[in-house]
Structure 1
Amino acid sequence: MQFADRLNNVETSAIRELFKLLGKPGIISFAGGFPDSAMFDVDGIRAASNAALAEEPGAALQYGATEGYNPLREQLAAFMASKGAKDVAADNLIVTTGSQQALDLLGKTLISPGDKVIVEGPTFLATIQCFRLYGAELISAPIDGNGVKTDELEKLIAEHQPKFVYLIPTFGNPSGAMLSLERRKAVLEMAVKHNTLIVEDDPYGDLYFGDAPPPSLLNLSATVPGSRELLVHCGSLSKVLSPGLRVGWMIAPAELLAKATMCKQFSDAHTSTFAQATAAQYLKAGRMPGTLAHVRKVYAERAQAMGNALRNDLGDAIEFVQPQGGLFVWARLTGAGGKVVDGNVLAKRAIDKGVAFVPGTPFFCANPDHATFRLSFATADADKIREGVARLAQAV
C-alpha cells in the first residue's frame, strides 16, 4: 500500500511495544501511565449514568453538539472556577475525547509541515508523535526539578519563533516536575513579549500530595495583561475519575476554539454524549472532592513508598526528585560503582528480574538522555512497590 508521507515522521509507541513483554507471569509493572482501577468510584459513576438516563435519556443517547453537551460544559466551567479560574464560562471551552484529542486538534489547526514547536525535554510521548504526524519540527527545552528552564526557553523562543510552546507545568509526564510560581509568571510574560502561544496541558494538577501546587497558567493569566489571549489550557477527567469515559476539554481563544470545533466535526462529530451526560451528573452530584481526597492520599503513600525503596535499595546508583504529585518518579542512572548507566539496557535486564518500567529515551524529541527512566507508582500497593524496587536493584 502507498501510505501518506506524514507517517514517515512517526513510530509505534515504545510504551505500547513494551506492554507486549508484560505477559510474563509475575511481572510487577511500573510501566503504565494510568490510574489504579481499584480506586474508580464505581458507585458514583453508576449513579451518575442512571441519573443521565433518568433525567434526559433522549439527549444522553442521541447525537450531540460538536463543542460538547452543554450541561457538562457548564459543570466543567464550575469545576475550573472551584480551582481558581473564575472567569471561565461554558462557551470558553469545548469537550474533547480525552485531552489527547485536544492535542490532535491543536496539530490539525495550528501546525503546517515545517512549523517549529517547542516542547519540554522530556515530554509526553504521544505529544511528540502527534505533532510530528502533522509535520512539526520539534525543539527541546531543557527542564530541571522546577520544570522548564525559563531562561533557556526564552532563548529558544527568540531564536526559533515557534508556532506554539507546549508545557505540562504541574507534575509532568514523565518528569513529575512542578513548575515554580516564579517560572509560571515568566512563561506568561514571555508569551506576551514574544507574541507566542502557550499550551498548558494539565491532566495531573489535581493529584497533589501535600500543599496545592502554584496556580495554573490559566489562573495566573489574569495577573499578566495580554497573556490570556495567548494561552490554551487542556484538562481531563481521565486521571481523577475514569479514563474509560474519555472526557477532556480545551479552553482557548474563541477563534481557535471555532477552528478546533470544525476539525472535530470531521473526526468524531462529537465526544460520546452518554459519557458526557454521565460526567455531568457526577460533577453535579458533588462527589469529585471526596474522590480527589481519596486518590491523593493513596498515591501520596505509594509515591513515598517508592521514594523510600529507591533510596534504600539503589542508593547512589540513581538520582531523582521525590514527586509532590502526579503518577511518576523520573530517575537517572548515575553509573556509580560501575553499575548500569543506560536506561534501555536496564529495562531489558529488569524484565528478566520480573519488573518493568519505561526507559527515558522515547520521551525526548531530540538529544535524549539515555540514563533516564520513568517509574509509575499508581497501580501497585506499597508491598508490591517495595518488592518491585528490590527486583530492580538486582538488575542495576
Structure 2
Amino acid sequence: MATTASDRTISDSINTSPVLQDITNQALDPDKSDPGSKKELINFLRGWPSPSLLSPSILQSATTALLSDPSLFVPALQYGPDPGYQPLREELAVWLGRQYSTETKSEQICITGGASQGLACVLASFTDPSYTQTVWASAPCYYLACPIFEDAGFGLGRIKAVPEDQEDGIDIDLLETMLKHYRHVVYLVSTCSNPSGTTMSLQKRKQLVELARKHDVLVVSDDVYDFLQWTILPHPDASSPSKPGPLLPRLSDVDLSTPPSTTEIKEGKWFGNAISNGSFSKLLGPGLRTGWVHGTPDFVMGLSQTGATRSGGAGSQFAAALLAEVMKAGELERHLQETVRPGLQRRHGIIIETIKQELGELGVTVAAQDKGRFGGYFVWLTLPEGLDGKRVAQKARQEEELILADGEMFEVSGDEQGAKFRGNIRLSFSWEEEHKIREGVRRLGSVLRAMLEKIQ
C-alpha cells in the first residue's frame, strides 16, 4: 500500500511453500544468511527505508522540545480528538498545499495510525459487504492490501483485478465496463505505484473521478510515494536537483475541485468519491505509525467516528504531536530535500545502470523509465520469454543468497487470473546500500544466464 505501509513479511495466507516461507524468515532478519554460504545476503524484497535514510537527530530535537513544554506534552500524552492532533492537521494542510499547489484545509485531513490502518478504518466506516459489491484493485497490486480487504469482509472472490497499462496506470475503459449496476471501491497507488512504478496522468485522474461519481464508487489512493520523486539522472554520479517539479493533483484534489451535483449531497453532506491515503512511514520512519487521510470535510468527520477511534482517540497521538514539532521547525522538508530524495535518486540510478549493464543483453526490460522522473522504492522487471519469476526467485535464494519478490506475489488475491505476472520480478532499491545493489543485480544476472542456457 504503498504502503501504504512498508512491505512486511509475506503472509502465510499468500505464500506457504517451503522456499517462500524461508524467504519470509530471511526477510525478517536481513543479516541472516545461510550458515553454509560464503556470500552476504542481499534483500531486494524488503520495501523499507535504509537506516541511512532515517532521521534520529530530527526526532530527538523535536522530542526534547515537546517534552519540555507542559502546554505541548500534556495534550500529547492524553487521548486525542477524534479527527487527530489539531496542530499536525494544520501543519499538514499548509505543507500539502505547498506540495500540490492547491488549497488544503485542516478540516479535510484526518490523522491515522499509518496508511494501512487508515485503509482499514475507511473500509470499516464507509463500506458494508452486504451493500458494497466489489473491491477493484489496480494490478499488479500491493500484495499486503489484499488481506486488509479480506478482513473487512471482501473475501471469496470479491476483490477483482483491473490491469494497469504500462504508460499511466489503471485501465479506465476496462474498469467502466465492469462497474455498471454495482457499488464499488477502487484501490490503487496513483503515483509511483508499488510494484510497477507507474504514475497516472492528470487526464486519467479526471476520468477516474468522473467514473467514480457516475457509478457511486469510492476511490482510495495510497499516496505514500508522492513526495519521493526525482529527476532521472543520466548516470548515478550526475548532479541534478532531486525534486522534479510540481506534483500532479491527488485524486482527492480532482474530486474536491468539481462541485457536487444535487444527487451527491446526502442529508446535507458531501462525502465525495476519492480520498488520498498518506503516511510518514516513507518520509521519516515506519515506526512512527502515523498517517493521514485527505478528503471532503464530511468524509473526514465520518472517518473520525470509526468505533475504534471514538474509543481510543485519533491514532498515534504522541507521534502526531512529535511530528507537528518536526514540521513547525521545517525539518521534514529539509530531510526530504537533503537526505531522502537524493539517497533514493542515487540508488535508483545505480540499479538502473547495473540492470542495463548486467541484464539488458539477456532481454530483461524495466517498466516506467522513460518520462524524465521517477519515484518510490521499486523497479519492475519483465523477464525474457520462457522464464518464470517464482522459479527465478527460488534459484536466486538457493544459489546466490539473493531475496527477490516474484510477480505472482502482486496478483490480486482471489482473482489471480484477472491479471497474471509470472514473468515479472520486483526489485526494491530502498533497503540495501549502494555496493549491495550493484552486487545483487550481478547475482541476478548470473541466475538468469544459467537458466537461459538450459532452455536454449
Amino acid at match of 1:19: T
**d(CA) in 2 for partners of 1:322 and 1:186?**
21
Superposed, 1:301-312 pairs within 5 Å as: 301-312=346-357
**d(CA) in 2 for partners of 1:221 and 1:272?**
28
Contact 1:49 1:277 in 2 (8 A): no
Contact 2:404 2:427 in 1 (8 A): yes
Structure with the largest fraction of helix: 1
Segments ≥4 residues shifted beyond 6 Å: none
Superposed, 1:341-360 pairs within 5 Å as: 341-352=387-398, 353-360=400-407
Equivalent residue in structure 2 for 1:218, among 241, 245, 252? 252
Contact 2:143 2:409 in 1 (8 A): yes
Superposed, 1:357-372 pairs within 5 Å as: 357-365=404-412, 366=415, 367=417, 368-372=420-424
Tell me how far 1:62 sits from its aligned partner. 2.0
2:400 corresponds to 1:379 = no
Q: Which residue of 2 aligns with 1:5?
A: none
Equivalent residue in structure 1 for 2:177, among 151, 155, 176? 155
Equivalent residue in structure 2 for 1:96, among 95, 102, 112? 112
Q: Which residue of 2 aligns with 1:4?
A: none
Superposed, 1:153-192 pairs within 5 Å as: 153-158=175-180, 161-192=182-213
Tell me how far 1:254 sits from its aligned partner. 4.1
2:33 corresponds to 1:24 = yes
**d(CA) in 1 for partners of 2:320 and 2:21?**
27
| Matched residue SS, 1:104 | helix
Contact 1:117 1:162 in 2 (8 A): no
**d(CA) in 2 for partners of 1:156 and 1:120?**
13
Tell me how far 1:29 sits from its aligned partner. 0.7
Change (3 A) 1:16 1:98: farther
Tell me how far 1:190 sits from its aligned partner. 1.8
**d(CA) in 1 for partners of 2:205 and 2:21?**
32
**d(CA) in 2 for partners of 1:281 and 1:16?**
41
| Matched residue SS, 2:81 | coil
**d(CA) in 2 for partners of 1:17 and 1:73?**
42
Cα deviations by residue, 1:96-123 (Å, 9 ceiling, x for unpaired): 1111111101221233336301110111
Superposed, 1:41-60 pairs within 5 Å as: 41-55=55-69, 56-60=72-76
Tell me how far 1:67 sits from its aligned partner. 2.1
Q: Which residue of 1 aligns with 2:287?
A: 244
Amino acid at match of 2:138: E
Tell me how far 1:303 sits from its aligned partner. 0.9
**d(CA) in 1 for partners of 2:106 and 2:253?**
16
Amino acid at match of 2:357: N
Tell me how far 1:351 sits from its aligned partner. 0.8
Contact 2:114 2:279 in 1 (8 A): yes
Q: State the aligned residue count.
A: 382
2:273 corresponds to 1:273 = no
2:225 corresponds to 1:204 = yes
Q: Which residue of 2 aligns with 1:297?
A: 342
Q: Which residue of 2 aligns with 1:334?
A: 384
Q: Which residue of 2 aligns with 1:194?
A: 215
Q: Which moved more, 1:279-288 or 1:37-46?
A: 37-46
Tell me how far 1:358 sits from its aligned partner. 1.0
Q: Which residue of 1 aligns with 2:163?
A: 142
Contact 1:189 1:224 in 2 (8 A): no
Amino acid at match of 1:156: M
Amino acid at match of 2:148: C
Unmatched segments (≥5 aa) in structure 1: 1-9
Amino acid at match of 1:379: W
Unmatched segments (≥5 aa) in structure 2: 1-10, 35-39, 232-243, 262-270, 449-456
Contact 2:184 2:216 in 1 (8 A): no
Tell me how far 1:322 sits from its aligned partner. 4.8
Cα deviations by residue, 1:35-68 (Å, 9 ceiling, x for unpaired): 1221212211111111111221211222222321
**d(CA) in 2 for partners of 1:214 and 1:70?**
26
**d(CA) in 1 for partners of 2:59 and 2:200?**
33
**d(CA) in 2 for partners of 1:17 and 1:168?**
29
Contact 1:111 1:131 in 2 (8 A): no
Equivalent residue in structure 1 for 2:440, among 368, 388, 391? 388
Tell me how far 1:393 sits from its aligned partner. 1.1
2:147 corresponds to 1:129 = yes
Amino acid at match of 2:63: S
Change (3 A) 1:253 1:215: closer
Normalization by structure 1: what TM-score?
0.89
2:86 corresponds to 1:39 = no
**d(CA) in 2 for partners of 1:355 and 1:345?**
13
Q: Which moved more, 1:258-267 or 1:200-209?
A: 258-267
Amino acid at match of 1:310: I
Tell me how far 1:360 sits from its aligned partner. 1.7
**d(CA) in 2 for partners of 1:92 and 1:209?**
27
Q: Which moved more, 1:379-388 or 1:257-266?
A: 257-266
Change (3 A) 1:295 1:221: same
Contact 1:36 1:379 in 2 (8 A): yes
